[in-house]
Amino acid sequence: MPLTRRDFAKLGALGLAARLAPSLNAQTGERKTGYAVIGLGRIAGHFMGGIRNTTNSQVTALVSGHRDKAERIADQYGVPHSSIYSYEDFERIAENKAVDAVYVALPNSMHAEYTIRAAKAGKHVLCEKPMSTSVAEADAMIAACKAASVKLMIAYRCHYEPTNLKAVQLIREGAIGQVQAIESAFGFNIAAGEWRLNRKLAGGGPLFDVGIYSLNACRYLTGEEPEHISAFASVIDHDGRFKEVEENVAWTMKFPSGIVASCNTTYGAPMNGFFRVHGSKGTLEGAPAFNYDGLHLIGDFGGTHLDESNPARDPYQFQAQAEHFSHCVQNGLDPKTPGEEGLRDMQYITQIYRSAGISI
């Protein structure tokens, strides 16, 4: 029973609606949640492009160390120059009633500081992944947001994306039978001089940056938490890039049901982000599964052949997660990927590094 593109779109939409029904159904009549974007790098550009397509969100302030750049972006998004802040005077954001929430798009090591500072200023927080560079920081971020009675969501955009949601739906419905094993990988050949190669800023290597997608995917695909982790790390290219962080990490996870996952991440080679799930009735593969667009789901199970691409393009995924968080902020709801979700990944990342002989 081949699935058509229309079938795929329907299932994707149904899967998304099941997760985001409150957000999608209640946007009419909702005001726009105002966001201060902290850090104006590449990913912030994707997020602001996504916000532009929403009906319940808007950019109302910018935080940057480069005033000229911030003014150019402010003009693009209709942000008054009086709502541009430096990192030093960030606390003044508490006085800005047009700002309901912040989006933290800074290097990993700065996530905890600006989440905590935003919470103390009374602003809700949408923080990029990885949540932090240590379990202690993640705990402190959660505690600060709870103490200030503000919401904390980690920007796991794949949780709001139809291709990944459909894969979860098919697995939960038993389409591929009992899951036995999962393979997943994500990586790229990093250029020299990237801040991600600086341990102080990044916290670690590719595991923090792109390997976390495979780690998190194995958790949401199985619906389980790993009970045993084993890992190896290596540096192959001794060209000066990897003086502070590892180049490669490979790890396996065993889940309570007996499912075994094998994952790889690298900064030394192009590695299209994918997952492949093996079940007793067939297989399901997302390839690519974690990119901003061009996602593709393939499956063979129970007489069904699935081979469909998701036509949604960047910055759709950023739009979906902004809409969700804005709806939660306006209606007093808990986000689907709260700080506790990011904390769990930080705990597992710590275990992976420990097993591989790397201290963080």
Q: What φ, ψ does residue 327 adopt, rounded to 5°?
A: -65, -40
Residue-level pLDDT at 194 = 97
Other beta carbons within 10 Å of 216: 25
Q: What is the pLDDT of residues 98-149, one digit of tens each?
A: 999 999 999 999 999 999 999 999 999 999 999 999 999 999 999 999 999 9
Is the pLDDT at 24 greater than 80, yes or no? no
Residue-level pLDDT at 164 = 98
With H, G, I as helix, E, B as strand and everything else as coil, classify residue 251. strand
What mean pLDDT value characterizes the chain? Answer: 93
Other beta carbons within 10 Å of 136: 11
**Catalytic choice (35, 85, 103, 213):** 213
Q: How far is CA 159 from the centre of its chain?
A: 8
Other beta carbons within 10 Å of 235: 16
Where are the chain's structural domains? Answer: 31-157, 158-311+337-355
* Amino acid at position 183, single letter: E
- Told to judge if 281 belongs to the known catalytic residues of this protein, a careful annotator would answer no
pLDDT band at 184 (very low <50, low <70, confident <90, very high): very high
Q: Which two tokens stand for residue 134?
A: 């240590």
Average pLDDT over residues 16-22: 40
Length of the chain: 360
Output the CA–CA distances (angstroms, integers) from residue 97 to 77, 102, 175, in the order listed.
Answer: 18, 13, 49
User: Of 269, 265, 276, 289, nearest to 353 (Cα)?
Assistant: 265
**Catalytic choice (123, 129, 151, 166):** 129
With H, G, I as helix, E, B as strand and everything else as coil, classify residue 260. strand
With H, G, I as helix, E, B as strand and everything else as coil, classify residue 226. coil
Residue-level pLDDT at 14 = 38
- Told to judge if 213 belongs to the known catalytic residues of this protein, a careful annotator would answer yes
Q: What is the pLDDT of residues 217-236, one digit of tens each?
A: 999 999 999 999 999 999 99
Is CATH 3.40.50.720 the right assignment for the domain spanning 31-157? yes
Output the CA–CA distances (angstroms, integers) from residue 59 to 37, 199, 356, in the order listed.
Answer: 7, 31, 41
Locate all alpha helices (DSSP H) within the chain, ordered by sequence: 5-26, 42-52, 67-77, 111-120, 135-147, 162-172, 199-202, 206, 212-222, 316-331, 339-355
Distance, CA of 329 to CA of 334 (rounded, Å): 8
Assigned architecture for domain 158-311+337-355: 2-Layer Sandwich (3.30)
With H, G, I as helix, E, B as strand and everything else as coil, classify residue 171. helix
Residues with Cβ within 8 Å of residue 78, at least 6 apart in sequence: 59
Q: What is the pLDDT of residues 231-265, one digit of tens each?
A: 999 999 999 999 999 999 999 999 999 999 999 99
